[in-house]
Amino acid sequence: MSSIIKILYKRPIITIFIVYAFALILLDFLGYFSYEKRSLLYKLTENNTVVSVEGKVISVPLLAKNGKEFMFKTSIVNGNVLNEKVIVNLPAGYSVSYGDIINIEGKLKKPFSSAFPLVFDYQKYLARDEVYTILNASSFEYIKAHPNIVNKFAFAFQQDIIKKIDVYFKRPCSGVLKSLIIGDKSSLTSDVKNTFSDSGVMHILVLSGLHVGFVGAIVLFVLKLTGLSLKKASLLSIPFVLFYVIATGANPPAARSVIMLSCIFFSLSLDREPLIYNSLSLSALVILIFQPQQLFTASFQMSYGATIGIVCFYQRILGFFRNVKGKILRFFCGVLSVTVSAQIVLIPVCMYYFGKISIISFVTNIIVVPLIGTILYLGVIFYGLTFISQYIATMCSTVLSIILNFILLVTRVLGNPKFFAISVAKPSIVQMLLFFTLLFSVSGFKGKKRFMISAIIIAVNSIYVIYPVLNGRNRTFFNMYQGNNIKALQIKNNNDNKFFIYNSNKYYDRSYINSFRQFISFSGIKNADITVAGFDKDKISSDLVNFNIKFVEGMTIESVVR
């Protein structure tokens, strides 16, 4: 414990980050980041009236259902000055570009919010990015173009890469390549996303530290080839990597990665050994100062969790392979050590956010992750060749297509949920804290202290799990989950769960039913009797496969409660 105090004393950046993170957690618990306190536009959704909004388009508009979708920063709302981000759905027929100053009229609405606990909530997801409302535009007026020069050039660069990939590659390879190189996931099919998720390599489709690190290594290598010293090459690498992140949309995982990488490059330019914990803390602190709610997002926790896991456990796990001979075997042992180190921290986080564990993810990562570097290197070469020779660029794209098809084959085979993906009950925050405390005690203490502290943590976790079960024995619990047109009543007694779901409208709310199915999975409910009324039998039967469903007419939730 004294060694930890010494580290915190000698590394003030780490101490400041820890204090700041705990302050954010306390503020979130006290409701400081609630929609009502953070957004004036959120209050206007209650009126259901047309609003007039003037502001700036701050993202590249993407094709969406019946029109375009983009991020918008308001400056004036109904004649009043107001700066706030909002997602705009613009009907087809209007032309809009990044940086345009426009005036829009339309109705504000709240993002979709799940009626069930534990499951993904789109409203909370957007709120963590400080987006609280969606504007469905009915009219549009162009005022002028006022883009940021750097961002405009970066986005144009991004669009050119997309066009070149679409010309030289077929689907689904084009979609995977765009996601890997510039983080554009708009062309990915749901099947591809699911297979990558089930095989445990979904993280490679999200532009993050892995991709930024590879790009930084490429830039540093090229600059070194020009004869520059390591100090100068490291310093000059920073603007190139920064431009790459801006061109790819500057999503939070990439932004925090470039900050951390810039800290490392800057340390190298000063001829000082990079301190990884300082770099991690500094990058996290900078991100959270400007976007404090990122602390509560899955991407933030997973990217930093994976990095910390690698830093803490990589050398220890690699030590088990010290007797392995041969460069190829040692290389794969190194990749396995990195994967296992990251997964030690990521598995419980994945359980919490996704309710799923891929038991084959270690194997998939060993095969796929080394290929990502190859794809990024060849991707840079391919883009350069498109300006030189169409024939040579085609040859390069053929090699890339072979690698991409191999990755798709691996994820399709190893991502079969029947064999390699396990659905699990979502752990509570208390259990997560107990797990990481146990992990810390095992790795941070030695001898009797390690045994005693670990035993205490395991005992506390056992009591936490067992006590509610014993306390709730022979007691009946009622829970109501209400959507726009649907109500669901849960009656729980010991391990028996009965659900009564009533639809009061002819409209079939598939989002509600999907949330219900996810709630069942995250709650760890294996068997449930479900009685439904007011539903189309074919639709709900197809959405709730493997459940015992009983159809009745004339039932309401109120009649069940009585």
- Helix (H) or strand (E) holding 511, with range, is helix 510-522
- Kindly give the confidence (pLDDT) of every residue in the chain, 562 residues in length, as a single tens digit, with 9 standing for 90 and above: 455 555 555 667 788 888 899 999 999 888 888 887 888 888 888 877 888 999 998 887 887 777 888 889 999 888 889 899 999 988 887 888 888 888 998 899 888 888 888 888 888 888 888 899 999 888 888 888 777 677 777 777 878 888 888 888 888 888 888 887 777 777 777 778 777 777 777 767 766 666 777 777 778 877 877 777 777 787 888 888 887 777 766 666 677 677 777 777 777 676 665 567 777 787 788 888 888 888 888 878 877 887 788 778 888 888 888 787 777 777 777 777 877 787 788 888 888 887 777 777 777 777 787 787 788 888 888 888 888 888 888 898 898 999 998 988 888 877 665 556 677 788 888 878 888 887 777 776 676 766 777 777 777 777 766 766 666 566 777 788 887 778 888 888 777 788 888 887 777 777 888 888 888 888 878 778 888 887 877 788 777 877 778 887 765 555 555 5
User: Do the beta carbons of residue 86 and residue 74 sit within 8 Å?
Assistant: yes
Burial 503-539 (b: 16+ CB within 10 A, else e): beeeebbeebbebbbbbbbbbeeeebebbbbbbeeee
Distance CA 287, CA 281 (A): 10
Q: What is the DSSP string of 267-293?
A: HHHTT----HHHHHHHHHHHHHHH-GG
Residue 168 carries which side chain, given as an amino acid letter? Answer: Y
Distance CA 347, CA 200 (A): 10
- Helix (H) or strand (E) holding 178, with range, is helix 173-182
Q: What is the DSSP string of 21-87?
A: HHHHHHHHHTTTT-HHHH-SHHHHTTTT-EEEEEEEE-S--EEETTEEEEEEEEEEETTEE---EEE
What's the token pair of residue 273? 């050994």
Helix 173-182 and helix 149-168, axial crossing angle in degrees, nearest 10: 150
pTM of the shown model: 0.75
Helix 298-318 and helix 429-444, axial crossing angle in degrees, nearest 10: 30
Distance CA 552, CA 562 (A): 17
Instruction: Return the half-sphere exposure (C-beta side, CA atoms, 13 A cut-off) of residue 366.
Output: 16
Is the alpha carbon torsion for 124, 126, 129, 131 positive or negative?
A: negative
Distance CA 378, CA 40 (A): 48
What single-letter DSSP state applies at residue 428?
P
